[in-house]
Each structure stands twice: as structure tokens, then as C-alpha cells.
Amino acid sequence: MKIIIKISAILFIGLGASCSMIKPTGMNKTVIDYQAHRGGRGLMPENTIAAMLSVMDNKKVATLEMDLAITKDKQVVVSHDPILNPLITTQPDGTYIKADEINKNIIYQMNYADLEKYDVGLKPHPGFKGQKKLAASIPTLASLIDSVELKGASIGRKMNYNIEIKSVDGKDGIEHPNPNEFVEWVVATLKKKNMLKRTSIQSFDLRPLRVLHEKYPTIKTSYLVFGSECADAEKEIALLGFTPTIYSPEYKYVNKAMIDYCHQKNIQVIPWTVNTKEEMNALIALKVDGIITDYPNLY
């Protein structure tokens, strides 16, 4: 009998320990969705395949955050800006883009074969002096996913993707296609790569989010907001016109009332861009559902 009791106790303790490792996935969860902003641009060149692969070695990072643009020949590419950003871009001849030449380098007016000749990993970034420098081109979304999934298979990890449709009302046909077309190209890529279930699509622009909600209601949407208006989540979500999967505010405007309201509506709160450990801890104490940072090494 004593032996049986001891064995039962061991099984109970083991089972209890196992259960304690299983975290709830609903609102007020203890599992935090740690995201690497632009692949962790504080450490590596932003929105590059090298950055995404590097941050995968950090087991706390669950989601790769990135931005999208469209080329003239309808390639979905990973770039924060609709233009070749002079802060990070080296031209094919090794020179830098001048400030007055910005509007001459609009991605939507370039074919990908020309775009990929530019480098976005070698030029020192004044805002991220600890960033590792290496040769890197602007990747297509498809090639980035292929690279991430290949590494993921080799190390036993499946990453999530949080991708931003970069569009602005008034720039349709100049810096990007109209929201309907933009959404269709992005969704087509994700479908082809079988990544819809592991992807959320975010935007500051209400229009692509509304297109997604109408045409693809099962795709997770993240509503990006900035400025003091962030604090009033109820008003902002009413403006959007539907309930998104995620409310993603500028981190300094996050408050308990915002989080309580969103959680009541089954909306996750994932603020951006949180770059100190102290700010991360304060937000986690408020029960945010995720953190987006340039410095995933702080996780």
C-alpha cells in the first residue's frame, strides 16, 4: 500500500507540474505573444530574411512582425516604406540615395528585378547603432516565408506572422494599389504558402481591414492605432466598424480601461513599439496579450 501511495503521489505531482505549464489561451492569459518588430531591427537590418531567421533562435519570440509593399509587376515585398528609405538603402552602384531623390524611388513604380539590386542591410542606421550590418536585399513575402519555414522545420518551430498592409488614403495608384487589390495579392500569397491560420494582417488604414472583414472574415485582423486617440478603444473600434481580432495601440497610451473593454469584447491588446524592459513589465502587469519590440533580446 505504501508503494502504491508513493507512486500515486509521484504521478499526481508530475501531472500537476505538467498542467501548470499549460497556459490559458483566452483573454487575460498568462502567455504573452512576443513579437519581433520588423524582425528585431534593433539587432538586425529591418524586414530582411536574415533578421527573421536570426530572431527565430530566441525561443520566446512567437511572432515575426513585418510590413508589405507591392512592386510594379505585382510582387508582394517586405518593406516598411513605399519608397527606398535613404536611412537604410545603398544603391546598386554603392552610393546612397539623396534626400531630394526619395520620390524617384517608389517601390510600386519599380519591377522586382530592379528593386532587389538595392541593398538594405549595409548602411549604418543612426537610430540603431548596435544593429549588425550585412548585405541584404528587400525580399518577397513568398521567399521570406519559404526561408522561415525551412529553418522552422529544421529546429522544430512554427512561427506566426503579423504582417502590415502599408497603405494611405490618397496614395492609391501612386505608392500602392487600391485596398481591394492590395488585399487580394497578399491573401493570394498567404494561401499559396498555406499560412492563413498562422497570420494576422494589420493596418493603420481602415480600408484594407474592412475589405478583409468583408471578403475573408476568418483571417485575423489587427487594428493599428497611434496618438492619444488610442486610449479610447471603444471609439476607435466603432470607427473601424467591426470587431477586430487584435487592437494594437501605441504603447504609451495603453491603460486598464482599454484592456478591460477589449477583453470584454474578446479582442486582444498588443501594443507597439516597446523598447525597454521596464515598459514591457508595466504593460504585462496591465495584462496585455502581446508585446512588439525592436529588441527581442529583452524578452
**Tens-level pLDDT at each residue, the chain (299 residues):** 343 333 333 333 343 433 333 333 345 456 999 999 999 999 999 999 999 999 999 999 999 999 999 999 999 999 999 999 999 999 999 999 887 777 789 999 999 999 999 999 999 999 999 999 999 999 999 999 999 999 999 999 999 999 999 999 999 999 999 999 999 999 999 999 999 999 999 999 999 999 999 999 999 999 999 999 999 999 999 999 999 999 999 999 999 999 999 999 999 999 999 999 999 999 999 999 999 999 999 99
Q: Are 150 and 55 spatial neighbours (Cβ–Cβ below 8 Å)? A: no
Domains of the chain: 26-298 (3.20.20.190)
Q: Are 182 and 208 spatial neighbours (Cβ–Cβ below 8 Å)? A: yes
Model pLDDT, residue 100 = 79
